[in-house]
Amino acid sequence: MTATPGATPTIVLVGHGMVGQRFLEALAERGLTATHRVVVLCEEPRPAYDRVALTSYFSGKTAEDLSMTDMEFIGTHGIELYVGDPAQTIDREAKRVTARSGQIFAYDTLVLATGSYPFVPPVPGKDAEGCFVYRTIEDLLAIEAYAKTKAQVGAVVGGGLLGLEAAGALKGLGLTSHIVEFAPRLMPVQVDEGGGAALLRTIEEMGLSVHTGVGTQEIVVGPDGAVTGMKLSDGSELAADMVVFSAGVRPRDQLARDAGLAVGERGGISVDEQCRTVTDPHVFAIGECALAADGRVYGLVAPGYEQAETAAATIAADEASFTGADLSTKLKLLGVDVASFGDAHGTAEDCLDVVYSDSRAGLYKKLVIGRDGTLLGGILVGDAEAYGTLRALTGSVPPVSPESLVLPAGAGSGDRLGPSALPDEAIICSCHNVSKGTIRGAVSEHRCTTVPEVKKCTKAGTGCGSCVKVLGQLVTAELEASGVEVDKGLCGCFAQTREELYEIVLALRITSYQDLLDRHGREDARGGDGCEVCKPAVASVLASLAPAIGASGYVLDGEQAALQDTNDHFLANLQKNGSYSVVPRIPGGEIAPEKLIVIGEIARDFGLYTKITGGQRIDMFGARVEQLPLIWTRLVDAGFESGHAYGKSLRTVKSCVGQTWCRYGVQDSVRMAIDLELRYRGLRSPHKLKSAVSGCARECAEAQSKDFGVIATASGWNLYVGGNGGATPRHADLLAQDLSDAELVRLIDRFLMFYIRTADRLERTSTWLERIPGGLDHVREVVVADSLGICEELESLMAAHVAHYRDEWAETINDPEKLARFVSFVNAPDTPDPVVAFVPERDQMKPDLPLLAIGRRPLEDALEGSAQR
């Protein structure tokens, strides 16, 4: 079929990735979809999706989750989208594109957004069975299928962004994973030697093997034509039955080459500052296939978006140019934050470095500072919380000392810097080049009052998402500056904060969620059922205050049961295949051999997967819901109780062996850890709580990465608070030192109850300590000096909790009515869930998960489904 241009000019877009979709949106914003026929030729069997988040498929996301294509948008703007039908040839003289299907499309303007392809080193064996690239959804499906049936050890060639993600994916599929990187460090483009070392330590601790400074010389192939290993440039060999190449990408410019368009010496379609090809003014190129006027091929999505905007503006006869882009990036690799911005490697003449490094915590922060104090760039590994603010300050002299920008909270001068200190010209969203001034204008001029409204108005925060937190802070600050009362209510049901609801429940002795909603909820929420935000939050408040207000502290009693999320509802952790994990409490990590035997026997009899956790406990995975009471009964009979791994409550108090066994120990850390865990077990709080007790300053229990941590001294105990070893690591701050046993317990009682009283929902102590006005100094004044006169009340609340503690597992197995909930199907209680299945692995078992459910329906079905939704 030949489409000929008539009165309506035609724009043909070749390629429908992230940049291509942004180009379509830019056309629509300028009204060009109403004045032009727009045709899109898409090679992949599905419309544009978020390729940056590709690895999230292995954590449960679907194609629909990552789709960036609103089919209603496509239909509304009359865009002709042909999926699975790429362009094959371009006839520039006739101004026609021929698709693989044979259809021919005449164009007035042609836009090439063909992206890039994975580079596979030309090594022998690269095409053997078991060799893959890591670029598309189809690649992931093929990798998963092969890993499930034919592979146990995987090797990834390339230690950059995609290489690390690929290695994480292989590990998630159950393979032993290796990373081979030719450069002397991981992510050599983004981080320096120090950052690479911190990243290496963290990744190796996750169980991945890293080989840097070596290249791949040959893929070893077995007699059946499948991969059996790799030969490396240092002469060593690596056994592997799967190889994933992730050694960079190259511009997909063959279509342009065949059409006679100029390309760069190292690839890329040559374009000018308007993104027109230098060969043909009717042809544009954007994204990873384009060689920009500054001689660079940009491999990040933000420059691609800017090029898409430039091309659309030029087609609309608006003035626009692309002269370069910010290469700053913020990534989360295998759960580790990695960010770089500006002149991260300090290439500017006569610049200085400000460096903070903590190898134990996997933290590395470096700022590059000019002689005049200008922030030139930086690198953040392990904690990129300040990325948004630092990137926006690049090119200016920060209003605080450089040291305060990289030191952990509670260290250094104490100077802190928030987004409100940024100048209006500072770029907040680099994906869409949105400045602080534009965001402020969205609030003050366009009357946006929420982050979603600002996103819609400015597009800020709709790209990689790394700026969303800063965006929220700016919106709130601008609203308050404008005299607008900011709604800080817990949710749409309550105008009060969690802290205010806590005080209401305590003062009025309110014992039910419905009573609280009917008496203190927003007018239009009273008499309703509440929402998924406030129900678990209020349930936590009621549970933590239960003894003081005369309520039942058992979370499955009456109304309380309906307020709980899935984990609390079944007193166990729901896993990805629909089974549950059971974690008995092992106070302080101390356990007698007889109890170890009981756990082993239970795991064997119920076919459970067992794993020793970082918190010195034993997880048992794979229990079906109807098996939970049977497992608990045997554990309770053996003297175990719930470890509360499912609750927002105390998880563990980790310990070293202390002075009892260790020649360096100065106090009995095991006894103290057991005493603290038994005292605070079952304490419901805004978020989970973790603790540790170290018997000396060598800190083997890692107490300074916990919500409250204790370190022994020759004179007693030092108490640290507000630590976090999770996705955003934070060193705990010293609250008090050289405490006696009684003083230590009293201060922890006060600290925990003050946190529970004043924290927001789902707020860890680390975040709370940095948010609460006055920070650590204020907390110290309250819980140590009793500046508010509430310490007696805090101690009384904790004493009531300790006195009324009951084991939830034991409560449940002794109540036939409660046991009735533990079935997969209410109408068929004896029928197990058929979805819960397992396969053997390493003498145990793992979930037998089906291949990723990714639809392959044609465009017409997608449009129909969108309309139905």
Residue 838 located in a structural domain: no
CATH of the domain at 430: 1.10.10.1100
Give the lowest-confidence range in 232-236, 487-491, 551-555, 694-698.
551-555
Q: 708-713, long-range: CB within 8 Å, 24+ apart, which pairs?
A: 708/732, 708/748, 708/751, 708/752, 708/765, 710/669, 710/672, 710/676, 710/744, 712/658, 712/659, 712/665, 712/666, 712/667, 712/669, 713/666, 713/667, 713/737, 713/738
CB 532 within 8 A of CB 761: no
Residues 63 and 136 in one domain: no
When pLDDT is cut at 50, 70 and 90, the band that residue 416 belongs to is low
Residue 335 located in a structural domain: yes
Which of 393, 367, 387, 579 is CA-nearest to residue 464? 387
Q: Residue 430 is encoded by which pair of tokens?
A: 């680099």
Whether pTM > 0.85 for this model: the answer is no
Residue 68 located in a structural domain: yes
Q: Is 106 left (phi over 0), alpha (psi -120 to 50) or beta?
A: beta
Alpha-carbon distances of 354 from 190, 379, 380, 403, 666, rounded to whole Å: 17, 10, 12, 7, 36
Alpha-carbon distances of 343 from 153, 406, 418, 423, 749, rounded to whole Å: 38, 16, 22, 20, 47
Which of 616, 587, 582, 586 is CA-nearest to residue 602? 582
Average pLDDT, the chain: 88
Residue 490 DSSP code? S
Helix (H, G, I), strand (E, B) or coil at 244: strand
Residues 97 and 147 in one domain: no
Which of 328, 416, 429 is CA-nearest to residue 380? 328
* Residue 405 phi, psi (nearest 5): -80, -15
Question: With pLDDT > 90 as the criterion, what percentage of the chain qualifies?
Answer: 57
Higher-confidence residue of 447 and 607: namely 607
* Residue 242 phi, psi (nearest 5): -150, 135
* CB atoms closer than 10 angstroms to residue 491: 18
- Tell me the binding residues for [4Fe-4S] cluster: 656, 662, 696, 700
Distance CA 31, CA 726 (A): 46
| Cα torsion angle, 199, 200, 204, 210, sign | positive
Could you list the residue range(s) of the whole structural domain that residue 91 is in? 2-117+251-315
- Tell me the binding residues for siroheme: 700
What is the chain's percent helix, strand, coil content, to nearest 5? 35, 20, 45
Residues 52 and 158 in one domain: no
Q: Residue 98 is encoded by which pair of tokens?
A: 């021929």
CATH of the domain at 760: 3.30.413.10
Confidence (pLDDT) at 799: 95
Residue 732 DSSP code? P
Residue partners of 176: CB distance under 8 A and separation at least 6: 152, 153, 154, 209
Distance CA 717, CA 286 (A): 61
Edge-to-edge strand list for the sheet holding 689-694: 650-655, 689-694, 708-713, 716-721, 733-739
Residues 644 and 727 in one domain: yes
Which of 131, 132, 135 is CA-nearest to residue 43? 135
Q: What is the pLDDT of residues 290-333, one digit of tens each?
A: 999 999 999 888 899 999 999 999 999 999 999 888 777 777 66
H-helix or E-strand spanning residue 563: helix 558-563
Residue 818 located in a structural domain: no
Q: What is the pLDDT of residues 812-864, one digit of tens each?
A: 999 888 888 888 776 667 777 777 888 888 888 888 765 443 333 333 343 33
Q: How large is the average pLDDT for residues 383-402?
A: 81
Confidence (pLDDT) at 715: 92
Among 756, 777, 803, which residue terminates a domain?
803
Confidence (pLDDT) at 97: 97
- Tell me the binding residues: 656, 662, 696, 700
Residue 694 located in a structural domain: yes
Q: 860-869, long-range: CB within 8 Å, 24+ apart, which pairs?
A: 862/47, 862/71, 863/71, 863/74, 863/75, 865/71, 866/70, 866/71, 866/72, 866/75, 867/71, 867/72, 867/75
| Cα torsion angle, 509, 511, 513, 515, sign | negative
Higher-confidence residue of 479 and 7: namely 479
Q: 100-104, long-range: CB within 8 Å, 24+ apart, which pairs?
A: 102/1, 103/1, 103/2, 103/3, 104/1, 104/2, 104/3
Residues 241 and 255 in one domain: no
Q: How large is the average pLDDT for residues 643-667?
A: 93
Residue identified by tokens 């597009």 is: 459
Confidence (pLDDT) at 464: 66
How buried is 391 (Cβ within 10 angstroms: 0-12 exposed, 13-18 middle, 19+ buried)?
Answer: buried
* CB atoms closer than 10 angstroms to residue 153: 18
Most confidently predicted of 172-181, 203-212, 594-603, 655-664: 594-603
Distance CA 426, CA 328 (A): 14
CATH of the domain at 412: 3.30.390.30
Confidence (pLDDT) at 56: 75
Which of 376, 257, 247, 251 is CA-nearest to residue 304? 251
Residue 170 DSSP code? H
Residues 449 and 507 in one domain: no
Confidence (pLDDT) at 857: 35
Confidence check: pLDDT of 148 > 70: yes
Residues 73 and 155 in one domain: no
CATH of the domain at 166: 3.50.50.60
H-helix or E-strand spanning residue 708: strand 708-713
Q: What is the pLDDT of residues 128-140, one digit of tens each?
A: 999 999 988 899 8
Residues 330 and 259 in one domain: no
Residues 405 and 432 in one domain: no
Bridge partners, residue 97, by sequence: 90, 105
Confidence (pLDDT) at 559: 81
Confidence check: pLDDT of 598 > 50: yes
Got the DSSP string for 573-596? EE-TTS-EEE-B--GGG---HHHH
Strand intervals (E) in 233-374: 237-239, 242-245, 249-251, 269-270, 283-285, 290-291, 329-333, 336-342, 352-358, 363-369
Distance CA 676, CA 652 (A): 9
Distance CA 337, CA 199 (A): 9
Q: How large is the average pLDDT for residues 391-408?
A: 79
Distance CA 115, CA 264 (A): 15
Number of domains in the chain: 6
| Cα torsion angle, 18, 19, 24, 28, sign | positive
When pLDDT is cut at 50, 70 and 90, the band that residue 384 belongs to is confident
Q: What is the pLDDT of residues 244-253, one digit of tens each?
A: 999 888 999 9
Residue partners of 663: CB distance under 8 A and separation at least 6: none
Q: What is the pLDDT of residues 326-351, one digit of tens each?
A: 777 777 667 678 888 888 888 888 88
Q: How large is the average pLDDT for residues 143-161?
A: 91
Confidence check: pLDDT of 866 > 60: no
CB 855 within 8 A of CB 63: yes
Residue 708 located in a structural domain: yes
User: Helical H runs in 620-759?
Assistant: 628-637, 669-680, 741-758
H-helix or E-strand spanning residue 733: strand 733-739
Distance CA 103, CA 806 (A): 72
Amino acid at 691: S
Distance CA 40, CA 82 (A): 6
Residues 544 and 678 in one domain: no
Among 207, 230, 246, which residue terminates a domain?
246
H-helix or E-strand spanning residue 434: strand 434-435
HSE on the CB side for 778, CA within 13 Å?
A: 11
Confidence (pLDDT) at 455: 86
Distance CA 568, CA 571 (A): 5
Residue 840 located in a structural domain: no
Question: With pLDDT > 70 as the criterion, what percentage of the chain qualifies?
Answer: 94
Residue 73 located in a structural domain: yes
CB 328 within 8 A of CB 430: yes
Distance CA 722, CA 728 (A): 12
Distance CA 322, CA 273 (A): 5
Among 246, 279, 304, which residue terminates a domain?
246
Most confidently predicted of 82-91, 385-394, 460-469: 82-91
Give the lowest-confidence range in 206-220, 248-262, 546-560.
546-560
Distance CA 177, CA 134 (A): 15
When pLDDT is cut at 50, 70 and 90, the band that residue 740 belongs to is very high
Residues 291 and 366 in one domain: no
| Helix 534-549 × helix 513-520 angle, to 10° | 110
Residues 656 and 707 in one domain: yes
